[in-house]
Amino acid sequence: MVEFTVPEVDYSRYTNRQLAAIPLAALAVAILIIAGWFVMTGAPVSQGIAFTGGTEVQVAIDGPEAAAEEQIRAAFDAEPESIRSVPAQNVYVITFQSGSAAELERQAEAAGLDIRSISSVSASFGSDTQTLALGGLGVAFLGMSLLVFAMFRVFVPSVAVVISAFSDIVIPLALMNLLGIELSLGTVAALLMLIGYSVDSDILLNNHVLRRSGDFYESTYRAMRTGVTMTLTSIVAMIVMTIAATLFGIQLLAAIGTVLVFGLVTDLMNTYMLNLSLLRWYKYEGVAR
Protein backbone atom coordinates (compact mmCIF):
# COMPACT_ATOMS: atom_id res chain seq x y z
CA MET A 1 0.00 0.00 0.00
CA VAL A 2 1.30 3.48 -0.86
CA GLU A 3 1.86 5.70 2.19
CA PHE A 4 2.36 9.45 2.14
CA THR A 5 3.76 11.63 4.89
CA VAL A 6 1.44 14.59 5.27
CA PRO A 7 3.28 17.72 6.53
CA GLU A 8 1.60 19.65 9.31
CA VAL A 9 0.71 23.01 7.82
CA ASP A 10 0.73 26.04 10.11
CA TYR A 11 -2.63 27.48 9.07
CA SER A 12 -2.46 30.12 11.78
CA ARG A 13 0.04 32.01 9.58
CA TYR A 14 -2.63 32.66 6.95
CA THR A 15 -5.86 34.61 7.11
CA ASN A 16 -9.12 33.21 5.78
CA ARG A 17 -8.97 35.61 2.85
CA GLN A 18 -5.48 34.44 1.93
CA LEU A 19 -6.53 30.79 2.03
CA ALA A 20 -9.67 31.35 -0.04
CA ALA A 21 -8.11 33.71 -2.58
CA ILE A 22 -6.29 31.10 -4.71
CA PRO A 23 -9.18 28.60 -5.03
CA LEU A 24 -11.68 31.38 -5.79
CA ALA A 25 -9.32 32.94 -8.36
CA ALA A 26 -8.88 29.55 -10.05
CA LEU A 27 -12.65 29.08 -10.10
CA ALA A 28 -13.18 32.56 -11.58
CA VAL A 29 -10.62 31.93 -14.34
CA ALA A 30 -12.24 28.57 -15.12
CA ILE A 31 -15.68 30.17 -15.40
CA LEU A 32 -14.27 32.85 -17.74
CA ILE A 33 -12.69 30.16 -19.95
CA ILE A 34 -15.95 28.21 -20.14
CA ALA A 35 -17.93 31.40 -20.85
CA GLY A 36 -15.48 32.42 -23.58
CA TRP A 37 -15.66 28.94 -25.10
CA PHE A 38 -19.44 29.17 -25.12
CA VAL A 39 -19.34 32.53 -26.91
CA MET A 40 -16.92 31.20 -29.56
CA THR A 41 -18.40 27.74 -30.15
CA GLY A 42 -21.96 27.81 -28.82
CA ALA A 43 -21.17 25.14 -26.22
CA PRO A 44 -19.40 25.42 -22.83
CA VAL A 45 -17.11 22.49 -23.71
CA SER A 46 -16.20 20.64 -26.90
CA GLN A 47 -18.41 17.60 -27.39
CA GLY A 48 -17.52 14.20 -28.82
CA ILE A 49 -19.45 12.33 -31.48
CA ALA A 50 -21.36 10.44 -28.78
CA PHE A 51 -23.21 13.73 -28.16
CA THR A 52 -23.04 15.53 -31.51
CA GLY A 53 -23.39 12.53 -33.81
CA GLY A 54 -20.85 11.47 -36.40
CA THR A 55 -18.69 8.59 -37.58
CA GLU A 56 -15.41 7.22 -36.30
CA VAL A 57 -13.15 5.24 -38.63
CA GLN A 58 -10.02 3.38 -37.49
CA VAL A 59 -7.43 2.48 -40.12
CA ALA A 60 -3.95 0.94 -39.94
CA ILE A 61 -1.18 2.68 -41.91
CA ASP A 62 2.57 2.02 -41.77
CA GLY A 63 5.06 4.81 -42.29
CA PRO A 64 5.64 8.38 -41.12
CA GLU A 65 2.74 10.16 -39.42
CA ALA A 66 2.78 13.16 -41.79
CA ALA A 67 2.54 10.92 -44.86
CA ALA A 68 -0.20 8.84 -43.25
CA GLU A 69 -2.31 11.93 -42.46
CA GLU A 70 -1.90 13.17 -46.02
CA GLN A 71 -3.02 9.78 -47.33
CA ILE A 72 -6.05 9.85 -45.03
CA ARG A 73 -7.15 13.32 -46.12
CA ALA A 74 -6.79 12.35 -49.78
CA ALA A 75 -8.87 9.21 -49.29
CA PHE A 76 -12.07 10.92 -48.15
CA ASP A 77 -14.26 13.54 -49.80
CA ALA A 78 -15.29 15.03 -46.46
CA GLU A 79 -12.74 16.85 -44.32
CA PRO A 80 -12.04 14.83 -41.11
CA GLU A 81 -13.02 16.52 -37.87
CA SER A 82 -9.92 15.05 -36.24
CA ILE A 83 -7.16 12.54 -36.91
CA ARG A 84 -5.53 10.89 -33.89
CA SER A 85 -2.66 8.42 -34.07
CA VAL A 86 -2.04 5.40 -31.86
CA PRO A 87 1.75 4.99 -32.30
CA ALA A 88 2.03 1.62 -30.56
CA GLN A 89 -0.33 0.04 -33.11
CA ASN A 90 0.20 2.22 -36.23
CA VAL A 91 -3.52 2.93 -36.11
CA TYR A 92 -5.23 6.24 -36.89
CA VAL A 93 -8.62 7.20 -35.46
CA ILE A 94 -10.52 9.52 -37.83
CA THR A 95 -13.76 11.27 -36.88
CA PHE A 96 -16.28 12.88 -39.23
CA GLN A 97 -19.25 15.07 -38.38
CA SER A 98 -20.93 14.34 -41.72
CA GLY A 99 -21.10 11.49 -44.21
CA SER A 100 -22.62 8.03 -43.90
CA ALA A 101 -20.61 5.14 -42.51
CA ALA A 102 -21.19 3.11 -45.69
CA GLU A 103 -19.89 5.89 -47.95
CA LEU A 104 -16.84 6.51 -45.76
CA GLU A 105 -16.09 2.79 -45.75
CA ARG A 106 -16.35 2.68 -49.55
CA GLN A 107 -13.96 5.62 -49.89
CA ALA A 108 -11.47 4.06 -47.46
CA GLU A 109 -11.51 0.75 -49.34
CA ALA A 110 -11.10 2.52 -52.69
CA ALA A 111 -8.00 4.27 -51.31
CA GLY A 112 -6.56 0.95 -50.14
CA LEU A 113 -6.74 1.75 -46.43
CA ASP A 114 -6.70 -1.13 -43.94
CA ILE A 115 -9.97 -0.58 -42.05
CA ARG A 116 -9.99 -1.82 -38.45
CA SER A 117 -13.41 -0.57 -37.35
CA ILE A 118 -16.21 1.88 -38.17
CA SER A 119 -18.81 3.21 -35.73
CA SER A 120 -21.51 5.80 -36.27
CA VAL A 121 -23.88 7.79 -34.05
CA SER A 122 -26.88 9.69 -35.41
CA ALA A 123 -27.32 13.35 -34.49
CA SER A 124 -30.72 12.74 -32.86
CA PHE A 125 -29.44 9.84 -30.77
CA GLY A 126 -26.40 11.89 -29.77
CA SER A 127 -28.63 14.76 -28.66
CA ASP A 128 -30.76 12.42 -26.55
CA THR A 129 -27.63 10.89 -25.02
CA GLN A 130 -26.29 14.35 -24.19
CA THR A 131 -29.53 15.36 -22.48
CA LEU A 132 -29.59 12.16 -20.45
CA ALA A 133 -25.91 12.35 -19.44
CA LEU A 134 -25.91 16.02 -18.46
CA GLY A 135 -29.27 15.62 -16.74
CA GLY A 136 -27.81 12.77 -14.70
CA LEU A 137 -24.83 14.93 -13.76
CA GLY A 138 -27.14 17.72 -12.63
CA VAL A 139 -29.36 15.36 -10.60
CA ALA A 140 -26.29 13.82 -8.96
CA PHE A 141 -24.97 17.24 -7.95
CA LEU A 142 -28.37 18.33 -6.63
CA GLY A 143 -28.77 15.09 -4.69
CA MET A 144 -25.31 15.50 -3.20
CA SER A 145 -26.11 19.07 -2.14
CA LEU A 146 -29.36 18.05 -0.44
CA LEU A 147 -27.63 15.18 1.36
CA VAL A 148 -24.88 17.49 2.63
CA PHE A 149 -27.40 20.02 3.97
CA ALA A 150 -29.35 17.18 5.60
CA MET A 151 -26.19 15.85 7.27
CA PHE A 152 -24.85 19.11 8.74
CA ARG A 153 -28.02 21.23 8.94
CA VAL A 154 -25.83 24.32 9.17
CA PHE A 155 -25.54 26.74 6.28
CA VAL A 156 -21.84 27.69 6.13
CA PRO A 157 -20.25 24.19 6.44
CA SER A 158 -22.80 22.81 3.97
CA VAL A 159 -22.18 25.58 1.45
CA ALA A 160 -18.43 25.03 1.82
CA VAL A 161 -18.83 21.42 0.66
CA VAL A 162 -21.12 22.37 -2.22
CA ILE A 163 -18.84 25.18 -3.47
CA SER A 164 -15.82 22.88 -3.32
CA ALA A 165 -17.63 20.17 -5.29
CA PHE A 166 -18.79 22.75 -7.85
CA SER A 167 -15.24 24.02 -8.31
CA ASP A 168 -13.94 20.43 -8.59
CA ILE A 169 -16.15 20.04 -11.69
CA VAL A 170 -15.80 23.49 -13.27
CA ILE A 171 -12.00 23.70 -13.22
CA PRO A 172 -11.49 20.32 -14.98
CA LEU A 173 -14.11 21.35 -17.56
CA ALA A 174 -12.12 24.48 -18.35
CA LEU A 175 -8.91 22.46 -18.60
CA MET A 176 -10.65 20.04 -20.97
CA ASN A 177 -11.20 22.94 -23.35
CA LEU A 178 -7.57 24.03 -23.12
CA LEU A 179 -6.23 20.49 -23.63
CA GLY A 180 -8.64 19.52 -26.42
CA ILE A 181 -10.42 16.79 -24.42
CA GLU A 182 -13.99 16.36 -25.64
CA LEU A 183 -17.02 15.84 -23.45
CA SER A 184 -18.08 12.22 -23.84
CA LEU A 185 -19.84 9.55 -21.83
CA GLY A 186 -16.45 8.68 -20.34
CA THR A 187 -15.60 12.19 -19.22
CA VAL A 188 -19.12 12.67 -17.83
CA ALA A 189 -18.51 9.53 -15.76
CA ALA A 190 -15.22 11.08 -14.57
CA LEU A 191 -17.07 14.23 -13.50
CA LEU A 192 -19.57 12.09 -11.58
CA MET A 193 -16.68 10.36 -9.82
CA LEU A 194 -15.22 13.75 -8.92
CA ILE A 195 -18.44 14.61 -7.07
CA GLY A 196 -17.91 11.51 -4.95
CA TYR A 197 -14.22 12.20 -4.34
CA SER A 198 -14.96 15.81 -3.39
CA VAL A 199 -17.74 14.91 -0.98
CA ASP A 200 -15.55 12.26 0.71
CA SER A 201 -12.70 14.63 1.52
CA ASP A 202 -14.90 17.61 2.42
CA ILE A 203 -17.22 15.64 4.70
CA LEU A 204 -14.20 14.02 6.35
CA LEU A 205 -12.78 17.49 7.14
CA ASN A 206 -16.13 18.88 8.31
CA ASN A 207 -16.78 15.89 10.59
CA HIS A 208 -13.38 16.14 12.26
CA VAL A 209 -13.69 19.89 12.82
CA LEU A 210 -17.37 20.13 13.82
CA ARG A 211 -18.19 16.83 15.49
CA ARG A 212 -15.01 15.60 17.13
CA SER A 213 -13.21 16.89 20.19
CA GLY A 214 -9.93 18.72 19.99
CA ASP A 215 -8.45 21.97 18.81
CA PHE A 216 -9.41 23.22 15.34
CA TYR A 217 -5.91 22.71 13.97
CA GLU A 218 -5.49 19.30 15.58
CA SER A 219 -8.79 18.18 14.06
CA THR A 220 -7.74 19.58 10.68
CA TYR A 221 -4.45 17.69 10.74
CA ARG A 222 -6.16 14.41 11.68
CA ALA A 223 -8.51 14.84 8.74
CA MET A 224 -5.64 15.73 6.41
CA ARG A 225 -3.65 12.60 7.30
CA THR A 226 -6.50 10.47 6.01
CA GLY A 227 -7.90 12.73 3.28
CA VAL A 228 -4.62 13.76 1.65
CA THR A 229 -3.31 10.18 1.67
CA MET A 230 -6.54 8.96 0.09
CA THR A 231 -6.48 11.63 -2.62
CA LEU A 232 -2.76 11.32 -3.44
CA THR A 233 -3.12 7.55 -3.76
CA SER A 234 -5.97 8.07 -6.22
CA ILE A 235 -3.92 10.63 -8.18
CA VAL A 236 -1.00 8.20 -8.54
CA ALA A 237 -3.35 5.43 -9.69
CA MET A 238 -4.98 7.72 -12.25
CA ILE A 239 -1.61 8.92 -13.58
CA VAL A 240 -0.50 5.32 -14.13
CA MET A 241 -3.79 4.50 -15.85
CA THR A 242 -3.54 7.57 -18.09
CA ILE A 243 0.01 6.79 -19.18
CA ALA A 244 -0.83 3.15 -19.91
CA ALA A 245 -4.02 4.05 -21.78
CA THR A 246 -2.18 6.64 -23.87
CA LEU A 247 0.56 4.16 -24.83
CA PHE A 248 -1.99 1.55 -25.89
CA GLY A 249 -4.27 4.03 -27.64
CA ILE A 250 -7.26 3.63 -25.30
CA GLN A 251 -8.56 7.17 -25.71
CA LEU A 252 -11.54 6.78 -23.39
CA LEU A 253 -9.48 5.68 -20.37
CA ALA A 254 -6.81 8.30 -21.10
CA ALA A 255 -9.44 11.06 -21.10
CA ILE A 256 -11.05 9.75 -17.92
CA GLY A 257 -7.69 9.53 -16.16
CA THR A 258 -6.65 13.04 -17.24
CA VAL A 259 -9.90 14.60 -16.02
CA LEU A 260 -9.68 12.74 -12.70
CA VAL A 261 -6.07 13.79 -12.11
CA PHE A 262 -6.90 17.47 -12.63
CA GLY A 263 -10.07 17.14 -10.58
CA LEU A 264 -8.33 15.43 -7.66
CA VAL A 265 -5.55 18.04 -7.58
CA THR A 266 -8.25 20.72 -7.60
CA ASP A 267 -10.01 18.89 -4.76
CA LEU A 268 -6.88 19.09 -2.59
CA MET A 269 -6.76 22.86 -3.13
CA ASN A 270 -10.46 23.41 -2.52
CA THR A 271 -10.75 21.16 0.53
CA TYR A 272 -7.70 22.33 2.48
CA MET A 273 -7.80 25.98 1.46
CA LEU A 274 -11.33 27.09 0.50
CA ASN A 275 -13.39 24.72 2.63
CA LEU A 276 -11.03 25.04 5.56
CA SER A 277 -11.11 28.85 5.47
CA LEU A 278 -14.92 28.82 5.55
CA LEU A 279 -14.95 26.33 8.42
CA ARG A 280 -12.48 28.41 10.43
CA TRP A 281 -14.51 31.57 9.80
CA TYR A 282 -17.68 29.75 10.86
CA LYS A 283 -16.17 28.29 14.03
CA TYR A 284 -14.40 31.39 15.31
CA GLU A 285 -16.41 34.27 13.81
CA GLY A 286 -19.65 33.03 12.30
CA VAL A 287 -20.86 31.18 15.42
CA ALA A 288 -19.94 34.09 17.64
CA ARG A 289 -22.18 36.36 15.62
CB 275 within 8 A of CB 205: yes
d(CA 199, CA 194): 8
Burial of 6 from C-beta contacts in 10 A (0-12 / 13-18 / 19+): middle
What are the b/e assignments for 140-154, b being 16+ CB within 10 Å? ebeebbeebbeebee
| 177 pLDDT above the threshold of 70 | yes
d(CA 52, CA 106): 23
pLDDT band at 172 (very low <50, low <70, confident <90, very high): very high
pLDDT confidence of residue 256:
93
d(CA 12, CA 218): 12
Pick the closest to residue 134 from 200, 191, 199, 52 (CA basis).
Answer: 191
pTM: 0.83
User: What's the whole-number mean pLDDT along residues 162-172?
Assistant: 94
Q: Reduce the DSSP state of residue 177 to 3 states and report it.
A: helix
d(CA 171, CA 4): 25
The type of residue at 15 is T
pLDDT confidence of residue 87:
62
pLDDT confidence of residue 288:
43
All domains of the chain in start order, with CATH: 11-48+125-286 (1.20.1640.10), 54-121 (3.30.70.100)
| 2 pLDDT above the threshold of 70 | no
